[in-house]
Copies of this chain bind each other. A is one copy, B any other.
Amino acid sequence: MMRVIEMLSERKRAILKAIVSDYIQRAEPVGSRTLARRYNLGISPATIRNEMADLDEMGYLEQPHTSAGRIPSYKGYRYYVDSLMEAEKLSPADEERLSRILQQRLSKIDAVFNEATRVLSEVSQYVSLIMTPIFGQQVFQQLRLVPLDSQFVVVLMVTDTGLVQNRVMEIPSGISAAELDQIADVFTKHLKGMPLENLNSTFLQELYSVFSRRNKALQVFLADLIAGFPYGEGEKVYLGGTTNILRQPEFHDVEKVRSLLQVLEEKDHLCRLLLDMASEDIAIKIGEENRCLQMKDCSIVAASYEINGRRMGTIGVLGPTRMDYARVVSVVEYMQKLLSKTLGEFLF
């Protein structure tokens, strides 16, 4: 996405910056008098008024009603984010809180995501989103069939990033352990190196031909195995800190809260949302830029984490358009690095 940054006079920039900062902090329309009092701009309220009128006309500011102060428009936020905002250094305390996920040595990958989501929302004070590794982008490594007893077998699928999926299946009578090994070998040999997204069921059908057509039990087992093959295992989205959004004054209306939370309950939707934002290094979507009507008053700051240098999933923070972008960007960046590191150590 190419964005042209309009030229604004240094003074207009200073005023716009002051307005956005002030509004982010106080959530109230800011007027010329207050602005002059609070920020040392060296100009009088009247001058500020004139500049504000200009910025208003240019579309950077809005007025809730004629005689209220100004608030940033979508365009105003965008300009702020693109060219006014100053990077904020995280406090050591926050860094330490975030780092806890790394220190705990959690045994399950699920626990890592859970903890990361919790901490991310806690530190950012907004809603946190974490999408698990994009399954389809991983590469098939091997299939294992581990018989538990004469009746059941565990199907293990291992990917290049070290994720292991398991599933229990029944063994039709008449299939020997050797045959199971043979099946696993054939799958492994044929599929090794394939991205999981390509493993759709029509492709897998081809493997049928490799096996004897005569063995009925084998055919049944294969059909079952293929039908339940863990391709397309959906991405998961972890969601945390939803209650933080209720602290925001713009969400003091229950109906508004409801419609937003409803969207957040649809994991598929969140998934698509985060997937969209995975391309850039750190992506910021402001208000209407989220296609979704219910999220027109929200912004998302997102970044992708990596495992072994490959982009695997996305983390994000969602808040009102009035969110503290500078701070959130720092938090998200920090968490991004942390998660990449933690998961890198976690898997092989």
Contacts and interface: CB of A to CB of B under 8 A. Distances in A.
Interface of A: 107-108, 141-142, 144, 146, 148, 151-152, 154, 156, 158, 162, 164, 166-168, 170, 228, 230, 233, 240-243, 246-247, 251-254, 257-258, 261-262, 265, 347-348
Contacts of A152: 162, 348
Contacts of A166: 156, 164, 166
Contacts of A146: 144, 146, 156
Nearest to A264: B243
Contacts of A167: 107-108
Contacts of A254: 246, 251-254, 257
A168 B265 contact: no
A29 B247 CA distance: 30
Name the prevailing secondary structure of the A interface residues.
mixed
Contacts of A265: 240-243
28 contacts: A107-B228, A107-B230, A108-B167, A108-B230, A108-B233, A142-B148, A144-B146, A144-B148, A146-B146, A146-B156, A154-B164, A156-B156, A162-B168, A164-B166, A164-B168, A166-B166, A168-B348, A240-B265, A242-B242, A243-B258, A243-B261, A243-B265, A246-B254, A246-B261, A247-B258, A253-B254, A254-B257, A257-B257
A307 to B, nearest CB: 14
Contacts of A246: 254, 257-258, 261
Nearest to A144: B146
User: How many copies of the shown chain assemble into the complex?
Assistant: 2
A64 B170 CA distance: 61
Contacts of A242: 242, 261, 265
A338 B252 CA distance: 39
A251 B246 CA distance: 13
Contacts of A257: 246, 254, 257
* Most chain B beta carbons < 10 A, residue from A142, A146, A151: A146
Contacts of A162: 152, 168
A254 B255 CA distance: 10
B148 A158 contact: yes
A132 B158 CA distance: 25
A243 B230 contact: no
A308 to B, nearest CB: 15
A260 to B, nearest CB: 9
Given A108-B230, A142-B148, A151-B348, 15 more contacts: A144-B146, A144-B148, A144-B154, A146-B156, A152-B348, A154-B156, A156-B166, A168-B348, A242-B261, A246-B261, A251-B254, A253-B254, A254-B254, A254-B257, A257-B257
* Most chain B beta carbons < 10 A, residue from A142, A168, A241, A247: A168
A148 B140 CA distance: 13
